[in-house]
């Protein structure tokens, strides 16, 4: 459309819009009536103009997002079959989750290692073995996640101890591509706010930068969990790219594109009326795509209470295929660029997260504040606020605390314990606990079935 058409109309200033709204409010206060301020201090306005676009937070280039499927490694032959089937049915990335050593040759047999994205999430620490896997794959398409700080935060202890863990990780970082994986999913799934997630992830990563040096910045990649606050989650991912770029500049390092792997949050998932989980994950995957995630790994609708199964995995994969191929979101990481609302939220999230990050650094850094319990306390405060809102129906999970199906019975369908587990062991720090909002409600319903 020709821009000359708009030359016939006078532009309207934000002040004029606000004056008109104020008249329509008939005496009600504009700030109190129409400005929404979140618990973390983000202000949402009723309208936005180009004046709100203080800084452009656009991604630098358009790319196609990848569809991933997670597979736990048990029997290598079976897992190989599942992986190849997933790749044939639309996935182009696989996340392998390993709790112990495995036969990587058998696991990866007949998989195109050059063109398929591979993610290895190691839940154990063995530099020699991980180097073997990396050497065998020999590809920049392989992303290794063995996050010793996340392990400390989630379990309360190092794998061995601080010195030994850093030495082992150092050996991995030295010898493998994409070998510094920051797992930020813990912060979302334990109830941290968006700004806390951003700040803690940045401070978490900065511990590794301080230890290994800026020359290894190209080996960093990030794993985020995405919640149900649709526009805020789009902005969260965009804001982290802004923050990471700003941090690298402080190290006098050139700006680098970072690789972001995402998956839906577990915090808002439910046992009862479980099909609603498909709606939640669809919204969350859309946020991830529009926010600029490189890879999206969907969560099966029944992941909370069922062991992994072919039907659930097929549904979760097909959700992403529909978004990619039928909703035309294949290359959608730039679609949100230029949205005054999203860019305003992005800038506010980045600014507030940066303040938290600076406080953490002034307090001695992420590890020090984790050992002192500061990080845990802040997350618990945020999680408790959110839990109270859920308990009083201010936060709604449809089918759970609103319009529940009281005839729905689940006791016989649960295949593993779906609630918070605590281990009675001595820990170096208090672990950060992942907990779903609906747990207490669901326990009571199960008892009454």
Residues sharing a CB contact under 8 Å with residue 374, sequence separation 6 or more, in sequence order: 363
Q: Which two tokens stand for residue 66?
A: 């990848």
Instruction: Provide the pLDDT for residue 1.
Output: 47
3-state percent helix, strand, coil for the chain, nearest multiple of 5: 50, 10, 40
Strand order from edge to edge, sheet including 259-264? 142-145, 117-122, 93-98, 66-72, 295-297, 259-264, 220-226, 180-183
pLDDT digit string, tens, across residues 377-424: 999 999 999 999 999 999 999 999 999 999 999 999 999 999 998 888
Instruction: Provide the pLDDT for residue 58.
Output: 54
* Domain boundaries, given as residue ranges, for the chain: 3-52, 66-343
Pairwise pLDDT comparison (203 vs 54), residue with the higher score: 203
| CA quadruple 187, 192, 198, 203: dihedral, nearest 10 | -60
Average pLDDT (114-130) is 97
Closest CA to 147 of 175, 119, 118, 184: 184
Residue 276: band (very low, low, confident or very high) from pLDDT cuts 50, 70, 90: very high
The yes or no reply on domain 66-343 and CATH 3.40.718.10 is no
pLDDT digit string, tens, across residues 209-227: 999 999 999 999 999 999 9
């Amino acid at each position: 459309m020709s821009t000359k058409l708009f030359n016939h109309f006078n532009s309207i200033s934000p002040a004029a819009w606000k004056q008109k709204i104020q008249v329509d409010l008939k005496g009600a206060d504009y700030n109190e009536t129409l400005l929404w301020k979140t618990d973390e201090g983000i202000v949402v306005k009723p309208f936005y103009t180009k004046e709100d676009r203080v800084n452009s937070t656009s991604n630098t280039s358009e790319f196609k997002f990848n569809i991933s499927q997670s597979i736990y490694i048990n029997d290598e032959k079976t897992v190989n079959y599942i992986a190849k089937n997933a790749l044939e049915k639309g996935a182009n990335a696989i996340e392998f989750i390993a709790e112990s050593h495995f036969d990587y040759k058998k696991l990866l047999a007949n998989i195109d290692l050059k063109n398929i994205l591979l993610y290895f999430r190691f839940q154990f620490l063995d530099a020699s073995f991980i180097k073997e896997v990396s050497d065998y794959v020999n590809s920049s398409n392989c992303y290794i996640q063995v996050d010793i700080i996340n392990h400390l935060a989630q379990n309360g202890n190092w794998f061995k101890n601080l010195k030994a863990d850093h030495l082992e990780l150092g050996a991995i970082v030295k010898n493998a591509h994409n070998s510094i994986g920051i797992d930020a999913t813990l912060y979302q799934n334990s109830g941290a706010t968006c700004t806390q997630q951003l700040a803690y992830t940045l401070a978490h990563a900065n511990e590794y930068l301080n230890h290994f040096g800026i020359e290894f910045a190209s080996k960093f990649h990030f794993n985020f969990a995405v919640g149900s606050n649709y526009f805020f989650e789009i902005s969260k991912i965009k804001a982290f790219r802004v923050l990471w770029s700003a941090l690298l500049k402080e190290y006098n390092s050139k700006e680098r594109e970072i690789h972001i792997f995402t998956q839906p949050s577990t915090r808002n998932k439910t046992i009862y009326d479980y099909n609603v989980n498909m709606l939640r994950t669809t919204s969350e995957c859309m946020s991830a795509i529009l926010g600029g995630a490189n890879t999206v790994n969907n969560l099966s609708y029944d992941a909370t209470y069922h062991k992994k199964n072919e039907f659930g995995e097929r549904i979760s994969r097909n959700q992403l295929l529909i978004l990619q191929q039928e909703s035309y979101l294949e290359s959608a990481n730039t679609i949100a660029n230029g949205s005054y609302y999203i860019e305003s939220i992005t800038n506010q999230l980045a600014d507030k997260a940066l303040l938290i990050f600076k406080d953490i650094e002034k307090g001695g850094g992420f590890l020090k504040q984790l050992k002192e319990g500061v990080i845990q306390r802040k997350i618990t405060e945020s999680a408790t606020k959110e839990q109270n809102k859920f308990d009083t129906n201010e936060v709604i999970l449809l089918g759970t605390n609103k319009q529940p199906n009281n005839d729905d019975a689940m006791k016989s369908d649960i295949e593993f314990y779906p609630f918070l587990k605590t281990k009675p062991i001595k820990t170096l720090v208090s672990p950060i606990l992942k907990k779903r909002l609906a747990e207490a409600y669901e326990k009571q319903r199960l008892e009454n079935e």
